[in-house]
Amino acid sequence: MARSVYVTGIDRGDGRQVVELGVMELLTRQVDRVGVFRPLVHDGPDRLFELLRARYRLAQDPATVYGMSYEEASVLQAEQGTDELVSVLVDRFHRVADDYDVVLVLGTDFADTQLPDELSLNARLANEFGASVLPVVGGRRQTVESVLAETRNAYRAYDTLGCDVLAMVVNRVAREDRDLIADRLADRLPVPCWVLPDEPALSAPTVAQITQALGAKVVLGDDSGLARDVLDFVFGGAMLPNFLNALTPGCLVVAPGDRADLVVGSLAAHSAGTPPIAGVLLTLGEVPGDDILTLAARLAPGTPVISVPGNSFPTAERLFALEGKLNAATPRKAETALGLFERYVDTADLDKRVSAPSSGRVTPMMFEHKLLEQARADRRRVVLPEGTEERVLRAAEVLLRRGVCDLTLLGPVDTIRKKAADLGIDLGDSQLIDPAVSDLRDGFAERYAALRAHKGVTVELAYDVVSDVNYFGTLMVHEGLADGMVSGSVHSTAATIRPAFEIIRTRPDTSIVSSVFFMCLADRVLVYGDCAVNPDPNAEQLADIALQSATTARRFGVEPRIAMLSYSTGTSGTGADVDKVRRATEIARSRRPDLKIEGPIQYDAAVEPSVAATKLPDSEVAGQATVLIFPDLNTGNNTYKAVQRSAGAIAVGPVLQGLNKPVNDLSRGALVQDIVNTVAITAIQAQTPAG
């Protein structure tokens, strides 16, 4: 039977969706088949399940997720009793559990359910499901003493009812009380108790949610602008100078539709980043003329302006009653929620306590989760030279919300801030540097001139060179002001890695810089090298690439079994190309006899057990290779792209190896998630020197 985790509470308003999302993230790191079951559901779409389904690419039939509606449960319990209700729900749970390695159970929500003693019902269901319980206690607007008492009582209640309580989570406590509550609960319970502070961005509605709730009309703005969180409301009535002083970051300006001065002033302030606002809501059904709207669109492209027919007072009443919700349409809130969960919950401890059956394979999702977890464990600083590029800014937001690493973004600072404001992105404490005017430029010029003096580079020439964002970023890494660099979303590979060759250079124990791609297939992750850097390596270089790739694979959780690829297997072929691979295999084995290395070997014999059984039946690598080394760039580059496109694989890379410090290149077609993964890889490379 599947191991199950039952997330439940004691009352409404505990914000447990953060915990449910965090537990799902944890479970999908361990296994590739995670089911979801909600015993009782309200009518209408289930926001959380839709979020889980979209985020974790769940293939589960939605019809199997739900036991029954609250209305059905209330009738069944009244007519046939609790035993019958529980019996039906247990039967429906097992239909899910039989098909999955682990099941996340979403407990009842204590909201308009008409069920007596809901806590006891959750406890009984957990016991009947054979699930461990993770109770969540809400602490919003409560005193420290009240939170302490309620948490202890909640534990006692579930423990007394026979539940296997994994741990306790207290959520939404006042930020200033969080440490005190955590300290006082640390030795009061026999299980861990993790305390999460209230996070305004999670309860803040987005502009899109406000638009929908008020039935507002979108006058200006795009999807990105409508996705912004509304952290505050500022109501316009004062004259413009006084009004501008009242603006706060992330606020929604609410003003009569005939106050064109407030509209233009708000958007001008947003454009300057002082402060960036969420948008403008116009009341009275009035909208400024086309000339004002044209100016507004130019001042702050994408920033939403919406209009409602009512006046300000009833609009304000409805606004203050709104609360943001996690759903599939708010992926940025999900990143914030996960960042909060992972910061305050000891996920390693919870992972052990859950003890879900580990999968024997590594799926793409597991691999991506592991990257973020590994990077976050020893936080590093990564410099992103392309700080004005939209994809880089969106990736930076994800990295910051998840607490993956610290960031430095390069480029004109005002341009970066304006672009971030237009996108509704909060860069938090990120360091922003303009190489052209930075105080570091003079020192970097002297350093670069010294490094390249043998090439006739003078300080004057170096002063111009180091203003280039890639050279500047590489020098930051060289000087220890950043731990790694990622570039290439709008620069060529040569522009990204040439500064690294000149400044950072190769490690003493390696003769060549090479690269690998992590090829995330449906059921495993393979390492391909070298598919990006070396056109035609000789035997010694090919052996070096193989050993570098094995080290990289192991560092990222892939046990290296190395296949030295050729067009023939074993001793069946001859010729210069095969001989090169055979010689490279011998060199690699002599240098690292502890590694499992096979070659020459054809691709099919390397990865397909049935072919391996015929061609190399006694090999420890054939049929189960994880690191595939191509004989030349032509073969490697074409193969990785063919597998990526025809097999639907996710290709993460290229990841450079052999440099003294990590610098990595992006594809110019890189997606936001590609950038996130590459930055995480770079941060991990910076944690410990390769060995």
CA dihedral for 227, 228, 231, 236, sign (positive or negative): negative
**Which of the residue ranges 422-431, 466-475, 590-599, 603-612 would you say has the lowest mean pLDDT?**
422-431
Whether the CB-CB separation of 391 and 675 falls below 8 Å is answered with: yes
- Residue 115: half-sphere exposure toward Cβ, Cα within 13 Å: 27
**Tokens (6 digits) for 549:** 């790739």
In SS3 terms, 170-231 reads as: EEEECHHHHHHHHHHHCCCCCCCEEEEECCHHHHCCEHHHHHHHHCCEEEECCHHHHCCECC
pLDDT, tens digit, for every residue of 5-63? 999 988 877 888 999 999 999 888 877 789 999 998 887 778 888 999 888 888 888 88
SS3 468: coil
How far is C-alpha 270 from the geometric centre of its chain's CA atoms? Answer: 27
**What pLDDT does residue 1 have?**
40
Adjacency order of strands within the sheet including 3-9:
66-69, 34-41, 102-106, 3-9, 131-138, 168-173, 193-197
Instruction: Flag whether pLDDT at 455 surpasses 90.
Output: no
Adjacency order of strands within the sheet including 406-410:
431-433, 406-410, 381-384, 484-487, 663-665
Question: Quick one: average pLDDT of 607-615?
Answer: 89
pLDDT, tens digit, for every residue of 169-199? 999 999 999 999 999 998 888 999 999 999 8
How far is C-alpha 316 from the geometric centre of its chain's CA atoms? Answer: 35
- Residue 282: half-sphere exposure toward Cβ, Cα within 13 Å: 23
Is pTM beyond 0.85? Reply is no
Superfamily (CATH) of domain 510-658: Isocitrate/Isopropylmalate dehydrogenase-like (3.40.50.10750)
Instruction: Flag whether pLDDT at 361 surpasses 70.
Output: no
**What pLDDT does residue 73 have?**
85
Question: Quick one: average pLDDT of 476-483?
Answer: 94
Distance, in Å, from the CA atom of 549 to the CA atom of 562, rounded to the nearest integer, reads: 9
Distance, in Å, from the CA atom of 496 to the CA atom of 502, rounded to the nearest integer, reads: 11
Distance, in Å, from the CA atom of 47 to the CA atom of 44, rounded to the nearest integer, reads: 9
Distance, in Å, from the CA atom of 396 to the CA atom of 387, rounded to the nearest integer, reads: 9
**What pLDDT does residue 2 have?**
52
Distance, in Å, from the CA atom of 184 to the CA atom of 207, rounded to the nearest integer, reads: 39
Element (H, E) at 431: strand 431-433
Confidence of residue 479 (pLDDT cuts 50, 70, 90): very high
Question: Quick one: average pLDDT of 513-539?
Answer: 88
Confidence of residue 691 (pLDDT cuts 50, 70, 90): very low
Q: How many CB atoms lie within 10 A of CB 524?
A: 17
| Residue listed under structure tokens 């204590």 | 110
Q: Rounded to whole angstroms, what are the CA distances from 385 to 101, 240, 427, 483, 664?
A: 43, 38, 15, 13, 12
Whether the CB-CB separation of 680 and 372 falls below 8 Å is answered with: yes
**What pLDDT does residue 475 have?**
95
Cis peptide before 600, with omega less than 30 degrees from 0?
Answer: yes
Confidence of residue 497 (pLDDT cuts 50, 70, 90): confident
pLDDT, tens digit, for every residue of 285-312? 889 889 999 998 888 888 999 999 988 7
Adjacency order of strands within the sheet including 251-256:
217-220, 305-307, 279-283, 251-256, 232-235
Question: Quick one: average pLDDT of 574-602?
Answer: 90
Whether the CB-CB separation of 129 and 107 falls below 8 Å is answered with: no
The DSSP output letter for 633 is H
Number of H helices, E strands in the chain: 29, 23
Which of 7, 21, 32 lies closest to 356, judged by CA? Answer: 32
Cis peptide before 530, with omega less than 30 degrees from 0?
Answer: yes
3-198 fold? Rossmann fold (3.40.50)
The length of the chain in residues reads 691
**What pLDDT does residue 227 have?**
87
pLDDT, tens digit, for every residue of 412-435? 998 998 888 888 788 888 999 999
Distance, in Å, from the CA atom of 110 to the CA atom of 119, rounded to the nearest integer, reads: 9
Domain ranges of the chain: 3-198, 205-320, 361-503, 510-658
Element (H, E) at 339: helix 331-344
Which CATH number applies to 361-503: 3.40.50.300, 3.40.50.10950, 3.10.20.740, 3.40.50.720? 3.40.50.10950
Question: Quick one: average pLDDT of 538-547?
Answer: 93
Whether the CB-CB separation of 655 and 664 falls below 8 Å is answered with: yes
**Which positions ≥6 away from 343 have C-beta within 8 Å?**
403
> Which residue would you say has higher pLDDT here, 321 or 137?
137
Amino acid at 201: A
Mean pLDDT is highest, among 109-113, 238-242, 594-598, for 594-598
Whether the CB-CB separation of 353 and 167 falls below 8 Å is answered with: yes
Mean pLDDT is highest, among 157-171, 326-340, 521-535, for 157-171
Same fold, 361-503 and 510-658: yes
End-to-end CA distance of the chain: 42
**Tokens (6 digits) for 466:** 């180091």
Confidence of residue 240 (pLDDT cuts 50, 70, 90): confident
**What pLDDT does residue 113 have?**
61
Whether the CB-CB separation of 168 and 181 falls below 8 Å is answered with: no
Distance, in Å, from the CA atom of 104 to the CA atom of 145, rounded to the nearest integer, reads: 31
Q: In degrees rounded to 5, what are phi and psi of residue 577?
A: -65, -45
- Residue 316: half-sphere exposure toward Cβ, Cα within 13 Å: 12
**What CATH number does the domain located at 205-320 have?**
3.40.1390.20
SS3 483: coil
Mean pLDDT, the chain, integer: 88
Question: Quick one: average pLDDT of 572-595?
Answer: 88
Cis peptide before 435, with omega less than 30 degrees from 0?
Answer: no
Mean pLDDT is highest, among 64-73, 405-414, 498-507, for 405-414
Q: How many CB atoms lie within 10 A of CB 299?
A: 18
